[in-house]
Chains A and B, each alone.
Chain A
Amino acid sequence: MAGAIWVLGESKGSDLARVSAEVATLGSALGAAAGLDVVGVVAGASPDGLAAEFARYLPLVHSLAVPEAAETAFASAVGPSLAALVEREQPAYLLVGATSDGRDIAGILSVLLGWGVIANASAILWQDGRPEVEVSILGGKLLTTSVFTGQHGIITVRPTSVTAEPLASRGSVVPVTVSPEIALPAVTVVSRVAEESEAVPIDEARVIVCAGRGVGGPEGMHLVQALANELGGTVGASRAAVDSGWIPYSQQIGQTGKTVKPRLYVGLGVSGAMQHMVGMRTSETIVAVNRDAEAPIAEVADLVVIGDLFAFVQALISALQARST
Chain B
Amino acid sequence: MRIVVLAKPVPDAGQERLRNDFRMDREATTEVINGNDEYALEAALKLVEASPDGGEVVLLAMAPDHAQETLRKGLALGAASAVLVTDPALEGSCALTTAHVLAAALRELSFDLVIAGVDTSDGGGGVVAAGVAALLGLPYLSYAARIEPSDGRVRVRRITPNGYEVLEAPMPALISATQALGAPRYPTLKGIMGARRKEIVIRTLADLDLAGARARGVEVGGAAATARVTGSRPRAPRGTPKVVQGSPAEAAQEVVTFLAERRLI
Contacts and interface: CB of A to CB of B under 8 A. Distances in A.
A75 to B, nearest CB: 6
Contacts of A301: 238, 241
Given A107-B127, A207-B264, A187 B140 contact: yes
* Size category of the binding interface on chain A: 35 or more
A274 interface: yes
Main secondary structure of the interface of B (DSSP, over half): mixed
B150 to A, nearest CB: 13
Given A137-B123, A184-B137, A315 B249 contact: yes
Nearest to A311: B248
Nearest to B18: A142
A62 interface: no
Interface string A294-316: 00001011111111100110111
A114 B227 contact: no
Contact of A305 (B121, B138, B244): B244
B193 interface: no
B245 interface: yes
B42 to A, nearest CB: 13
A198 interface: no
Interface stretch (B54-62, B178-186, B202-210): B178-186
A298 B241 contact: yes
B162 A194 contact: yes
Given A207-B264, A255-B13, A318-B252, A147 B163 contact: no
A110 B238 contact: no
Contact of A190 (B138, B168, B242): B168
Query: By CB atoms of chain B within 10 A, which of A76, A187, A207, A274 has the most?
Result: A187
Contact of A107 (B131, B164, B183): B131
25 contacts: A13-B162, A103-B119, A103-B126, A106-B127, A107-B99, A107-B134, A117-B226, A145-B229, A145-B230, A147-B230, A187-B140, A187-B169, A189-B167, A190-B155, A193-B165, A249-B180, A264-B262, A264-B264, A287-B258, A303-B242, A304-B242, A311-B248, A315-B252, A316-B252, A318-B252
Given A184-B140, A264-B264, 9 more contacts: A75-B140, A103-B125, A119-B125, A138-B18, A156-B127, A195-B162, A293-B243, A298-B241, A323-B256
